[in-house]
Amino acid sequence: MTKNRIDTRFAELRAKGRKAFIPFITAGDPDIGTSYKIAKELIRNGADLIEFGVPYSDPSADGPVIMRADQRALTAGTRLKDVFALSSSISSEFPDIPVVLLLYFNSVFVYGIERFFADCESAGISGVILPDLPLEEKEEAEPQALSHGVYLISMVTPVSEERTARILGQAKGFLYCVASLGVTGERSDFATDFTAYFDRLNALSDIPKCIGFGVSSPEQKASLQPFCDGVIVGSAIVRRIEEGIKEGLNSDRLAEKLGAYVRTFTEVTR
């Protein structure tokens, strides 16, 4: 089994003293072809990893922006095979860039856990984030994931309390550090005390740590980066896609617009 791209990527970044920038888009929003173009632009403009959300009918951990993106992707007829095809294209065109899926566990479960991770492997997917598969339920999918060289990315939150140590003890690839309570969506401000939060995390494990949930501006990214190894930006990007759609941009223009937007993040304190 080859080394997981995520490990390679973070090793490189750490070696260079750089922080990862991880954009998120919903696969198939507004259609799978456009997602492909957008993803390429994101990478060209400095994404270090790319995260594809698999659209879901009832995304109960997501806020309104991503809920609407999921809805658009489903209306366009996006299915798992399309997401695999998209991932496959991106992972083969960009051999350094790890592709990570974010989806609800039901999508995996109903598809068939073994079949799902086999298809991940074929599509060159390096990690899968299952926001509703916590530590306690992970054994249901992790053996299959690992047997196909796919990491289940663990999440930790400021209110994980005594669970934190256990989560970090088994985390692989990188740790998804939820910046604040609540669902996905931009925040103008965080109530979280990041110093204390990351002191706690760093004392427990050396695994790369990325902050996500609510990061909404290059300035926020800049201020969070010192604490961690990377920053995940989702709703802010998805909202620009929505705006572009509303403006009637064609897929090339939309991809360009997103490239330019993402550059504002990657240019800042690179």
Partner 1 sequence: MKDGRYGEFGGQYSPETLMYALSELETAYREAVKDPTFDAEYRRLLREYAGRPSLLYLAERVSADLNTTVYLKREDLNHTGAHKINNVLGQILLAVRMGKKRVIAETGAGQHGVATATAAALFGLSCDVFMGIEDTRRQSLNVYRMELLGAQVHPVTDGTGTLKDATSEAMREWSRRVEDTFYVIGSVVGPHPYPEIVRDFQRVIGDEIRAEMLRLHGRLPDALFACVGGGSNAMGTFFPFLNDKGVRLIGAEAGGEGIDTDRHAASLTKGTTGVFHGMKSIFLQDEEGQIAPVYSISAGLDYPGIGPEHAHLFRTGRAEYYPVTDEEAVCAFEYLSRTEGIIPAIESAHALALFRRMKDQFSPDQQVVVTLSGRGDKDVEAIGEYRGRFQKEEYHD
Hunting for tokens 């065109």 — which residue is that? 93
Q: Where are the beta strands (DSSP E) in the chain?
A: 20-26, 50-53, 99-102, 125-129, 151-156, 175-178, 209-212, 230-233
Residue closer to partner 1 by CB (options 137, 219) is 137
Contacts of 112 (CB under 8 A, 6+ apart): none
Which residue type occupies 103?
Answer: L
Under 8 Å between Cβ of 217 and 7: no
Range 216-255, binding partner 1 (CB under 8 A): none
183 contributes a contact to partner 1 by CB under 8 A: yes
User: Considering the rule CB under 8 A, would residue 163 count as an interface residue with partner 1?
Assistant: yes
Instruction: Find the shortest distance in angstroms from Cβ 127 to partner 1.
Output: 16
CB of 62 vs partner 1, minimal distance in Å: 8
18 part of the interface to partner 1, by CB under 8 A: no
Q: How far is the CB of 26 from partner 1 (least distance, A)?
A: 14
Catalytic residue among 29, 41, 51, 70: 51
Shortest spacing between CB 41 and partner 1, in angstroms: 28
- Is 189 a residue of the active site? no
Q: Point out which span in 25-33, 131-139, 194-202, 244-252 binds partner 1 (CB under 8 A).
A: 131-139
d(CA 124, CA 100): 9
62 is catalytic: yes
Shortest Cβ 265–partner 1 spacing (Å): 25
Residues from 73 through 92 that contact partner 1 (CB under 8 A): 74, 79-80
d(CA 130, CA 152): 7
User: What CA–CA distance (Å, rounded) separates 79 from 225?
Assistant: 35
Residue 137 binds to partner 1 (criterion: CB under 8 A): yes
Number of residues that bind partner 1 (CB under 8 A): 38
Residue 22 is encoded by which pair of tokens?
């991880």
Q: Are 50 and 42 a contacting pair, CB within 8 Å?
A: yes
- Residue 269 corresponds to which amino acid? T
CA–CA dist 252, 250 (Å, integer): 6
With CA atoms as reference, report the closest residue to 236 among 19, 6, 22, 28: 22
Give contact residues for partner 1 (rule: CB under 8 A): 56-61, 63, 67, 74, 79-80, 104-107, 109-111, 131-137, 155-157, 159-163, 167, 178, 181-183
Active site residues: 51, 62
